[in-house]
C-alpha cells in the first residue's frame, strides 16, 4: 500500500500538472458543450426555434394575391422586412444582400397556376429552405381546397413521446454526450505521460524496483477515474444550472458504464503510446482518433442524421456505445436489466481488451 500510495501521488501530480489534460480533457469539452448548446439549445426556452425574414412581391393586385398575403401575416415565425409588397427588383436585391431570407412572388392574377418562392442559392439545402417550402405548400393546399369547395376531413396532430423524461430536450442529449466525450478524451490523451517517462528512462528504472507493473497501472487507472469524476461533475453542473438540462439517473447502470468507458479509453490511450515514440506523434495520432469518433458517434446529433456511407464507422466506434450507455443511464434512467445496457458494456469490453492486448504486445518500456 505504501508503494501504491507513492505511485498514486506521483501520477496524480503529473496528470493534473499537465497542460494538455486541462486543455483537452476539461476546457475543450466545456467549450464545445457551451457553443453547441448556445447555438442549438438556446439559453432561453421561450425563444423560437425557427424564424425567417420575408418580403412579398405583388406584380398585379388581385383578390387571390391579397388573400395569400393576409394568410402569411398570420404565421408567427415569418418576420416582415416590409409590410406591403415591393417590386421584384427590390426584393431580389434584398435577397442577394441577405437582408431577407425569402421572397414570395404572389399570384399575378386570379387564374395564376403557381406561386414563386425565391431563396438564396447558398441556402438551397438548408433547414430554412425546407421549412419555407413546407409553409408555402401548406398554404397552397388550403387555398386549393377553398377554390375547389372541398372541406378537409383529416388533419395532422403531432405528439412526441420520450422513453425517459417527457421534458427531454437537446440540452439533455448534448450534456450526456459531452460527458462521454470528455471521459474518452481523458483516456485518449491521458497516456501521453508514458511517452515522456519512457523517453527519460523512468519506466526502465521502475522495472528495476520492487514495484510491480500491476500496481503502477492500477495507480494510473485510479487517477483517470478521479479526473473523469471531476469532468462529470463540472459538465453536469454547467448543463443543469445554465442550460436547464433535466436528468433521470440510474446510479448502478451509470457507475458500471462509467467504469467500463474509463478503462476502455485508457486502454485505447495505452495502445496509442505503444505505436508512438514522441509526444508530438502521440498527440497527432490521438487527435485523429478523437475527431473521427467525436463527429461520428452521435455526440452532437442523432446517428440517423449521418450519411449512409459513414454510418458503418459509427457502428464500430466505441464512443457510440459509451455515449449511448451514458444517455441511457442519465437521461432515460434505464437499469442493468435493459438489453441495450449489456450491448454497450459488451462492445466497450471488447474494445478495451483488444486495445490493451495490442498495446501490451507492441509497447516498449525503453526508448
146 or 286: whose pLDDT is higher? 286
**With contact defined as beta carbons under 8 Å apart, do 21 and 189 qualify?**
yes
**With contact defined as beta carbons under 8 Å apart, do 326 and 254 qualify?**
yes
Work out the percent of the chain whose per-residue pLDDT is above 90: 33
> Mean pLDDT, to the nearest integer, of 184-193?
85
Alpha carbons 57 and 198: distance in angstroms, whole number = 72
> Mean pLDDT, to the nearest integer, of 232-250?
90
**With contact defined as beta carbons under 8 Å apart, do 3 and 215 qualify?**
yes
Give pLDDT, residue 268. 95
User: What angle separates helix 2-17 from helix 192-199, to the nearest 10 degrees?
Assistant: 110
Name residues whose C-beta falls within 8 Å of residue 92's C-beta, 6 or more positions apart in sequence.
103, 118
Q: How far is CA 246 from CA 62, 87, 173, 255, 331, in A?
A: 52, 49, 10, 19, 8
* Residue 42: pLDDT over 60: no
Confidence of residue 315 (pLDDT cuts 50, 70, 90): very high
Give pLDDT, residue 245. 87
Q: How far is CA 177 from CA 12, 54, 62, in A?
A: 26, 36, 54
In the sheet where 102-105 sits, what is the strand order? 78-80, 52-57, 102-105, 116-119
Give pLDDT, residue 139. 84
* Residue 159: pLDDT over 90: no
* Residue 163: pLDDT over 60: no
Give pLDDT, residue 46. 46
Three-class HEC string of 84-112: CCECHHHHHHHHHCCCCCEEEECCCCCCC
> Mean pLDDT, to the nearest integer, of 78-91?
91
Helix (H, G, I), strand (E, B) or coil at 52: strand
Alpha carbons 187 and 208: distance in angstroms, whole number = 27
* Residue 269: pLDDT over 70: yes
Question: For the chain, what is the mean pLDDT?
Answer: 84
* Residue 271: pLDDT over 90: yes
Give the residue among 338, 25, 339 at the shortest CA–CA distance from 181: 25
Q: What is the pTM of this model?
A: 0.72
99 or 211: whose pLDDT is higher? 99
Give pLDDT, residue 257. 96
* Residue 217: pLDDT over 80: no
Name residues whose C-beta falls within 8 Å of residue 137's C-beta, 6 or more positions apart in sequence.
none
Give pLDDT, residue 44. 45
150 or 285: whose pLDDT is higher? 285
Direct distance between the N- and C-terminal alpha carbons of the chain, in angstroms, rounded to an integer: 29
Poorest-pLDDT segment among 135-139, 263-267, 340-344: 135-139
* Residue 152: pLDDT over 80: no
Enumerate domains of the chain plus CATH numbers.
Answer: 2-43+169-362 (no CATH), 52-148 (3.40.190)
Give the ranges where the chain is alpha helix by DSSP (H). Answer: 2-17, 19-20, 28-36, 63-73, 88-96, 127-148, 170-190, 192-199, 202-207, 213-243, 251-274, 279-295, 311-316, 318-330, 339-362
Give pLDDT, residue 49. 57
Residues in the chain: 367
**With contact defined as beta carbons under 8 Å apart, do 186 and 49 qualify?**
no
Alpha carbons 364 and 367: distance in angstroms, whole number = 7
Alpha carbons 49 and 195: distance in angstroms, whole number = 47
> Mean pLDDT, to the nearest integer, of 310-328?
93
Tell me, rounded to whole angstroms, the distance of Cα 135 from its chain centroid.
28
Amino acid at each position: 500500500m505504501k508503494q501504491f500510495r507513492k505511485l498514486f501521488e506521483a501520477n496524480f501530480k503529473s496528470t493534473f500538472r499537465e497542460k494538455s489534460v486541462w486543455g483537452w480533457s476539461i476546457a475543450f469539452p466545456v467549450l464545445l458543450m457551451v457553443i453547441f448548446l448556445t447555438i442549438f439549445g438556446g439559453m432561453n426556452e421561450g425563444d423560437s426555434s425557427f424564424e425567417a425574414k420575408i418580403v412579398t412581391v405583388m406584380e398585379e393586385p388581385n383578390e387571390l394575391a391579397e388573400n395569400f398575403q393576409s394568410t402569411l401575416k398570420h404565421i408567427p415565425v415569418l418576420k416582415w422586412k416590409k409590410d406591403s409588397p415591393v417590386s421584384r427588383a427590390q426584393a431580389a436585391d434584398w435577397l442577394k444582400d441577405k437582408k431577407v431570407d425569402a421572397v414570395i412572388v404572389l399570384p399575378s392574377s386570379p387564374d395564376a397556376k403557381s406561386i414563386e418562392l425565391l431563396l438564396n442559392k447558398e441556402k438551397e439545402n438548408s433547414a430554412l429552405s425546407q421549412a419555407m417550402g413546407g409553409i408555402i405548400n401548406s398554404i397552397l393546399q388550403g387555398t386549393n381546397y377553398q377554390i375547389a369547395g372541398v372541406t378537409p376531413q383529416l388533419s395532422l396532430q403531432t405528439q412526441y413521446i420520450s422513453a425517459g423524461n417527457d421534458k427531454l430536450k437537446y440540452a439533455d442529449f448534448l450534456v450526456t454526450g459531452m460527458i462521454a466525450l470528455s471521459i474518452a478524451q481523458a483516456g485518449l490523451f491521458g497516456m501521453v505521460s508514458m511517452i515522456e517517462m519512457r523517453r527519460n528512462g523512468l519506466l526502465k528504472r521502475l522495472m528495476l524496483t520492487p514495484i510491480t507493473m500491476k500496481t503502477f497501472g492500477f495507480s494510473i487507472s485510479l487517477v483517470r477515474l478521479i479526473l473523469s469524476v471531476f469532468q462529470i461533475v463540472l459538465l453536469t453542473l454547467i448543463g443543469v444550472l445554465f442550460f436547464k438540462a433535466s436528468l433521470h439517473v440510474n446510479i448502478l447502470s451509470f457507475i458500471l458504464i462509467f467504469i467500463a468507458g474509463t478503462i476502455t479509453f485508457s486502454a485505447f490511450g495505452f495502445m496509442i503510446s505503444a505505436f508512438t515514440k514522441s509526444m508530438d506523434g502521440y498527440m497527432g495520432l490521438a487527435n485523429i482518433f478523437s475527431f473521427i469518433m467525436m463527429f461520428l458517434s452521435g455526440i452532437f446529433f442523432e446517428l440517423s442524421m449521418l450519411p449512409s456511407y459513414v454510418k458503418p464507422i459509427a457502428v464500430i466506434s466505441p464512443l457510440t456505445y459509451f455515449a449511448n450507455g451514458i444517455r441511457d443511464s442519465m437521461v432515460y434512467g434505464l437499469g442493468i436489466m435493459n438489453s441495450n445496457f449489456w450491448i454497450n458494456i459488451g462492445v466497450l469490453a471488447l474494445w478495451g481488451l483488444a486495445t490493451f492486448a495490442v498495446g501490451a504486445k507492441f509497447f516498449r518500456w525503453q526508448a
